[in-house]
Structure 1
């Protein structure tokens, strides 16, 4: 029997994850069954279960994909040379968020992941570790801003970074739930607060 290439395995995995994402966006985690994902992917039951033995495995894999791109993006913001002003860090983070809010974006699933994490200890541990790591990028940006003189010397980078990071999910939660405010309006308010 011929050996299946790593490229083929990776493409199949992406196909299943994309099918699951469509199902979850359309019907929610609890209303989506593994059979729904199998049907959406157009694959056999065995093919889907080979990659993802449970729905929780699919949810975690989708969450990891979202986090991977956010982690790279936020790491770049926190290590830019020269250090970015904190309002620029926020603006660029929200630009990334906007790209993930559309019909092919993955942030609408974030609210479902948060909800699911309240009842699934494994997912809760993943979410806590993830948000701690993402917040760390904003803490680094705040430390660098303080060292560059943008913040007073007594400013606590952990406190500033936590508050700045909190503005990101605050923005996308409002956008998902109410459709507003737009990025320019939100940034104008944030800039006023950050003066």
Structure 2
């Protein structure tokens, strides 16, 4: 019997993850069954359960990939001296994460209108019920936050931002802007990333009255 190549195994895992992400984004976690996922990816139960034990493991794997994608984008930015300004940086990252710029670096593909924002909101809700998923999200958020902190420290070291405000506080604020924009996409309809960039650019232009 011919051995299955690692490339084939990786492609099959990718197929399952992408199909599950589409199902969850379309119908939500609770309304999606494993049978729905099997139908979406057109595979047998045995083929899918070889990679994932069930729906919870699929959800955790997708969440980890999204967080890795976000963290990687900001880690890349932190390597620049100085990093791109927040309006440019957030625009680049949100374009990549929302799937507007093609396939993500880790392979996860988002198709359909606002599928990632809808999935993200569902993950937030699910963490209130599922302590294990909440742990996955906390760990991933911590890694993302550290990547943002490095970006902010780059601004401060370059003299682009006041240094008397903790970088952690600025990082959390920037994360909130990105999360809020994604949540608006899920709740109120798609909007171009330029909307976020324009808003940030206007806020960055403010000066205290003399």
TM-score by length of 2: 0.83
The answer as to whether partners of 1:146 and 1:155 remain within 8 angstroms in 2 is no
Unaligned runs of 5+ in 1: none
Deviations 1:11-51 (A, max 9, x none): 21112112212221222110111111122222211111111
Match of 2:79 in 1: 79
**How far apart are 1:170 and its partner, in Å?**
0.8
Count the aligned residue pairs: 195
Counterpart residue number, 1:103 = 112
Pairwise CA RMSD: 2.1
Q: Matches of residues 129-168 of structure 1 in structure 2 within 5 Å?
A: 129-168=139-178
Q: Distance in 1 between matches of 2:23 and 2:12?
A: 17
Question: Any conservation in 1 of the 2:19–2:41 contact (CA below 8 Å)?
Answer: yes
Which stretches of structure 1, 4 residues or longer, exceed 6 Å deviation after superposition? none
In structure 2, do the counterparts of structure 1 residues 20 and 94 end up closer, same or farther at CA, with 3 Å as the change threshold? closer
CA contact (8 A) 2:83 2:151 kept: yes
Using the TM superposition, give the Cα deviation of residue 187 of structure 1 relative to its aligned residue in structure 2, in angstroms.
Answer: 2.2
Stretches of structure 2 that go unaligned for 5 or more consecutive residues are 101-109
TM-score (norm 1): 0.89
Closer, same or farther: CA 83–21 of 1 in aligned 2, 3 Å: closer
In 2 relative to 1, CA 161–29 (structure 1 residues): closer, same or farther, beyond 3 Å? same
**Residue 12 (structure 2) aligns with:** 12
Deviation, structure 1 residue 75: 1.0
Higher fraction of helix = 1
Counterpart CA distance in 2 for 1:71 and 1:178 is 26
User: Which structure carries more relative contact order (alpha carbon 8 Å, separation 6+)?
Assistant: 2
| Partner of residue 138, structure 2 | 128
